[in-house]
Amino acid sequence: MSDNTVQGVNGEERSSLTPEESARIRKRSLKLLGELVRPVRGRVILTMVVVILSTAAQVAGPALIAFGLNQALPAVLDQADWAPAFLAVGALLASGIVGAVLISWYTILSARVSQAILLDLRLRVFAHTQDLSLDFHESYTSGRIISRQTSDLDAIRELLDSGINQLVSGVLYMSFTAVAMVLLDPISALVIAIALIPLFLLGRWFQRRSQVLFRQQRVASAQTIVKFVETMTGIRAVKAFRARRRNEEEFGEKVENLRGINARVIGLFGIFDPGLILIANVSVAVIVLVGGLRVAGGSIAIGTLLAAVLYAKRFFDPVEDMAMFYNSYQSAAAALEKISGVLEEEPGVPAPQTPVALHTPRGHLEFQETTFGYGNGVEILPKFSLEIPAGQTIALVGATGAGKTTLAKLMSRFYDPTSGRVTLDGVDLRDLDDAHLRRAVVMVTQEAYLFSGTIADNIALGNPDATREQIIEAARAVGADTFIEAMPAGFDTDVNKRGGRLSAGQRQLVSFARAFLADPAVLLLDEATASLDIPGERAVQNALQTLLASRTAVIIAHRLSTVAIADRVLVMEQGQIVEDDTPEALISGTGRFAKLHAAWRNSLV
């Protein structure tokens, strides 16, 4: 089982992992990295080549000046020969131009690479979170997804933006110098080789420690984002329930936690970096000592020693860059771990392997020996079977919490049943092509969620191809046109965050118009008129009568006025359908519905 402890987003908040877990996570992040780099590998290689060339041009500059001073100047002074001088100046100009052009080309190239990778990653995460089913979203809050898409991506971006340059030029520089060193003076090279051991150990130490810290940093950052998002979403409740002070404390703690981790990350680097410099400088001192003694012994020339010492110094020059690279690599790796975890999550409602098409749905729904529970072990719908013939209008009633919404969610495949099947026109929903299913079955959810954007945009979500006339027509059909036209910009009025510009009833009307526009074979209305006034509800009822004539509909409502337009009533109680008949039969009977209906009638005026 230990294999599953870090599957997907499991164990995401843990920072110390067993070696096997680490290995598994590393494999998964590297795989993702590979997938991301593959499409741009041509450009990555080009970028590397440009870096190599521009490094060469940069190195050439000082060499040419040295040439100018050491060779060309004496030539002018001694022989009045200007040729080497012009050569040096010309070459210097040329290398300057080439170097400058290459550097600026590199800047653009590397931005293209890093932006292409980031775009790819953003879209992957977005698409994948859309594919994941509701059970995932219920436990993995939006704040965490947002933090994956923002702060985690920032970490990766930092690596991509400067990483290639630092890595390539650093490695290049070090290996050239190393080769030169071995050729020049193997013994000094040996000292450097020995210095690599503490260097490696220090690197290991840094990796171990920083890995844990960077993981903690990702988690802490996500926690502040989660708290932040939740506070902003629920700002009214925060204010009205005097939660401000407590929130400030709580958020402050999270911020302080994040700050502490950041400080520790930086502190760690503050040891790593001078540590590297120390190792470098000590090895130079050792080379001076060993070399000096050898010079004294006469085994090497003083000039060789000077060169060896300068090379050694230069060998360690890019160490700081490399340390920086390693640091941002570790940080990006921690971010990639989290992102790859989300991407590894399997949708609880998987897409069919071989999707069955349903081009002309009739709307015949059937539950066969179905049971259902939401992953927490409680069975919400015990085993039942139910057939809804095409074209029937069903009123689904029952006490709150009875399982009405749950039933509707199974019909629109928000979830799959724990056992048994749900079929549409004889096809198991699990096998049905998702696009066809969504076109055939539309649910107006209990929460009328509107996206920021115009009213027209929100209605058009029902059918993005709809014309303006169709949108207006849909609004008119549900009686939403009057209030929309009274808005400052009519259909183009921005509804603000979450539709906050509209009243609750207005939001419901817009959601309704949206469903109307989608024109599905099966329409599921979950308390779609609960916030409407009575005249508005009556108008919607009338619209429904024409709208539902040719389609299957399940109307969930506590206001039993819907029953008037239903062909059949289902009464639910604690997850079971306890009554099922025509409205007339049930009302005239003595069962629960008769009582419920009587109570409701009595409440009317």
Partner 1 sequence: MSSPSVFSSLWRLREYARPALPRLALGGVAGLFAGLLALAIPLVLRELVDGPLASRDTALIIGAAGIVLALGVAEAATVAVRRWLVLTPGTHVEAAMRNAMYERLQDLPVSFHDRWQSGQLLSRQGTDLGLIRRWLAFGIILLFVNLVTIVVGTAVLFTWHPLLGGIFLLISVPIWIYGFAFEKRYAVVARLSQDQTGDLATSVEESVHGIRVLKAFGRGRHALRGFTRQAQDLQGTEIKKAKALAGIWLWLVLLPDIGFALCLLGGIWLASLGQISVGELFAFFATATILRFPLESIGFLLAMTLDARAATDRFFEVMDEPITLADPEAPKHIENPRGRLEFDDVHFRFPDAPAGTPDLLDGVSFTVEPGHTVAVVGLTGSGKSTLTALASRLYEVTAGSIRLDGVDLRELNRDDIYANQSVAFEEPTLFSASIRDNVLLGREDTKSDPETAQKSLDRALDVAQADFVRRLPEGVETVVGEEGMSLSGGQRQRVALARALATDPKILVLDDPLSALDVNTEARVEEGMRRDYGTTSTLIVAHRPSTVQTADHVVLLHEGRIHDAGTHRELLERSAEYRFVLSSLDEENTR
Asked if 252 is part of the footprint of partner 1 (rule: CB under 8 A), the reply reads yes
Q: How many residues does the chain have?
A: 605
Asked if 504 is part of the footprint of Mg ion (rule: CB under 5 A), the reply reads yes
* H/E segment holding residue 576: strand 576-581
Residues between 496 and 555 that touch partner 1 (CB under 8 A): 496-498, 500-506, 509, 511, 514, 518, 526-527, 530-538
Q: What is the DSSP letter of 432?
A: B
**84 is written with which tokens?**
């080497």
Residues between 395 and 424 that touch Mg ion (CB under 5 A): 405
Binding pattern for the stretch 97-136 against ligand ATP, x by CB under 6 A and - elsewhere: ----------------------------------------
Which of 274, 350, 382, 426 touches partner 1 (CB under 8 A)?
274
Question: How far is 593 from 387, CA to CA, in rounded Å?
Answer: 20
- Interhelix angle 244-297/302-315, rounded to 10 degrees, is 170
Give the β-pairing of 568-573 and 552-556: unpaired
Asked if 503 is part of the footprint of ligand ATP (rule: CB under 6 A), the reply reads yes
Which is nearer to partner 1, 134 or 187 (by Cβ)? 134
Which is nearer to Mg ion, 323 or 524 (by Cβ)? 524
Residues between 384 and 443 that touch partner 1 (CB under 8 A): 397-401, 405-406, 412, 414, 434-435, 437-439, 442-443
- Nearest-5° angle of CA 495, CA 225, CA 145? 75
Question: How far is 199 from 280, CA to CA, in rounded Å?
Answer: 9
Q: How many chain residues interact with ligand ATP (CB under 6 A)? A: 22
Binding pattern for the stretch 140-179 against partner 1, x by CB under 8 A and - elsewhere: -xx--xx--xxx--x-------------------------
Q: Which range of residues in 124-132, 224-232, 474-482, 499-507 is near ligand ATP by CB under 6 A?
A: 499-507
Which of 83, 196, 197, 263 touches partner 1 (CB under 8 A)?
263
| Residue 63 binding partner per list Mg ion, partner 1, ligand ATP, none, with a CB distance cut-off of 5 to 8 Å that depends on partner kind | none
Asked if 503 is part of the footprint of Mg ion (rule: CB under 5 A), the reply reads yes
Which is nearer to partner 1, 296 or 357 (by Cβ)? 296
Which is nearer to Mg ion, 393 or 405 (by Cβ)? 405
Residues between 89 and 118 that touch partner 1 (CB under 8 A): 89-90, 92-93, 95-97, 99-101, 103-105, 107-108, 110-112, 115-116, 118
> Where are the alpha helices (H) located in 16-82, listed in sequence order?
19-37, 41-67, 73-79
Which is nearer to ligand ATP, 249 or 533 (by Cβ)? 533
Residues between 250 and 309 that touch ligand ATP (CB under 6 A): none
**Are 437 and 363 within 8 A, CB to CB?**
no
At residue 87, φ and ψ (nearest 5 deg) are -60, -50
Question: How far is 153 from 121, CA to CA, in rounded Å?
Answer: 8
Cβ contacts of 498-506, under 8 Å, gap ≥ 24: 498/449, 498/450, 498/452, 499/448, 499/449, 499/450, 499/451, 499/458, 502/450, 502/455, 504/448, 504/531, 505/531, 505/532, 505/533, 505/536, 506/480
Residues between 366 and 385 that touch ligand ATP (CB under 6 A): 374, 376, 380
Residue type, 249: E
Q: Which range of residues in 42-50, 136-144, 417-425, 545-553 is near partner 1 by CB under 8 A?
A: 136-144
Q: What is the DSSP letter of 150?
A: I
Asked if 179 is part of the footprint of Mg ion (rule: CB under 5 A), the reply reads no
Which of 23, 27, 70, 138 touches ligand ATP (CB under 6 A)?
138
**Are 583 and 563 within 8 A, CB to CB?**
yes
Torsion of CA 374, 376, 377, 383, to 10 degrees: -10
Question: How far is 101 from 96, CA to CA, in rounded Å?
Answer: 8
Which of 25, 159, 192, 225 touches partner 1 (CB under 8 A)?
225
Asked if 134 is part of the footprint of Mg ion (rule: CB under 5 A), the reply reads no
Residues between 429 and 468 that touch ligand ATP (CB under 6 A): 446
Asked if 405 is part of the footprint of ligand ATP (rule: CB under 6 A), the reply reads yes
Give the β-pairing of 365-374 and 378-388: antiparallel
Query: CB of 492: closest distance to ligand ATP in angstroms?
Result: 14
* H/E segment holding residue 378: strand 378-388
Residues between 433 and 492 that touch partner 1 (CB under 8 A): 434-435, 437-439, 442-447, 449, 451-452, 461-462, 464, 483, 488
Give the β-pairing of 522-526 and 419-424: unpaired
Which is nearer to partner 1, 2 or 376 (by Cβ)? 376
**Are 586 and 567 within 8 A, CB to CB?**
no
**Are 582 and 569 within 8 A, CB to CB?**
yes
Asked if 295 is part of the footprint of partner 1 (rule: CB under 8 A), the reply reads yes
Torsion of CA 215, 221, 227, 230, to 10 degrees: -100
From 399, 402, 375, 367, select the one nearest 576 (Cα to Cα): 402
Task: Report the sign of the C-alpha dihedral through residues 183, 184, 187, 193, in that order.
Answer: negative
| Residue 241 binding partner per list partner 1, ligand ATP, Mg ion, none, with a CB distance cut-off of 5 to 8 Å that depends on partner kind | partner 1
Asked if 504 is part of the footprint of ligand ATP (rule: CB under 6 A), the reply reads yes
Q: Which residues bind ligand ATP (CB under 6 A)?
A: 138, 374, 376, 380, 398, 400-406, 446, 500-506, 531, 533
Q: Which residues bind Mg ion (CB under 5 A)?
A: 405, 503-504
